[in-house]
Amino acid sequence: MGLLDSLVGSVVSQALGGSQQGGQAALIQALIGMLMNGGLGGGGAAQAGAPAGGLGGLLEQFQRSGLGDVASSWVSTGQNLPVSAEQIGQVLGPDVLGQLARSAGMDSGAAGGALAQILPQVVDAMTPDGRLPQQGADLGAMLPQILGGLLGGAR
């Protein structure tokens, strides 16, 4: 675990009340870590020429899965559209969902349900101006904003 992962874990755990919500905190930590490190690009509907990953890659996966309008609502400054646990599983695929679930000490079903609640908020917080962060942006510097978005709810 790198320094950034440790920092994310500590801040998320404190923000969510320590061990009280340990599984959810670990899931948020794993999700943010994968987004910041360029993971999450090769979900269930991966095809030749799959995106490199990160937030842009995740949004591409939603587009390919027919859920682009849902993911776009999270980026825009308007209301966030809901997503189901089944749709999360379809977009991420069993490997990525399983990896996130293992990181949080949950089964894939529980992780899919939790991600359906938190993923829209995480994407929303990472795109406060209704745009993706520029390539090369310091996503670590966005951590307080991301966590503030999670604790404060959706726009």
Of the pLDDT bands very low, low, confident and very high (cuts 50, 70, 90), residue 154 is very low
Instruction: List, in order, residues 6 or more apart from 144 with CB less than 8 Å away.
Output: 11
Supply the CATH number for residue 104's domain: 1.10.10.690
Residue 105, domain member (yes or no): yes
Greatest mean pLDDT among 24-28, 43-47, 133-137, 147-151 lies in 24-28
Residue 43 has a pLDDT of 47
C-beta atoms surrounding 6 within 10 Å: 11
Q: Examine the pLDDT at 122 and tell me if it is beyond 60.
A: yes
C-beta atoms surrounding 68 within 10 Å: 14
Name the residue among 126, 119, 129 with its Cα closest to residue 142. 126
Q: What is the mean pLDDT of residues 30-55?
A: 62
Q: Examine the pLDDT at 20 and tell me if it is beyond 80.
A: no
Residue 117 has a pLDDT of 92
Residue 14, domain member (yes or no): no
Residue 143, domain member (yes or no): no
Q: Examine the pLDDT at 113 and tell me if it is beyond 50.
A: yes
What's the domain count of the chain? 1
Instruction: Tell me if 87 sits within 8 A of 93, measured CB to CB.
Output: no
The DSSP code for 19 is G
Q: What is the span of the domain harbouring residue 74? A: 23-41+50-129
DSSP secondary structure letters along 21-71? GHHHHHHHHHHHHHHHTT---S-TT--TT----HHHHHHHHHHHTT-HHHH
Residue 134, domain member (yes or no): no
**21 vs 145, which has greater pLDDT?**
145
Q: Examine the pLDDT at 119 and tell me if it is beyond 70.
A: yes
Q: Examine the pLDDT at 68 and tell me if it is beyond 90.
A: yes
Residue 114, domain member (yes or no): yes
**129 vs 119, which has greater pLDDT?**
119
Q: Examine the pLDDT at 30 and tell me if it is beyond 80.
A: yes
Residue 148, Cα to own-chain centre: how many angstroms?
A: 15
Instruction: List, in order, residues 6 or more apart from 26 with CB less than 8 Å away.
Output: 9, 103, 104, 105
Q: Examine the pLDDT at 146 and tell me if it is beyond 80.
A: no
Residue 107, domain member (yes or no): yes
**2 vs 29, which has greater pLDDT?**
29
- Put residue 59 in one of left, alpha, beta given phi > 0 → left and psi -120 to 50 → alpha: alpha
Helix or strand run (H / E) with residue 116: helix 108-126
Residue 139, domain member (yes or no): no
Q: What is the mean pLDDT of residues 3-11?
A: 49
Residues 60, 62, 63, 64: is their CA dihedral positive or negative?
positive
Residue 138, domain member (yes or no): no
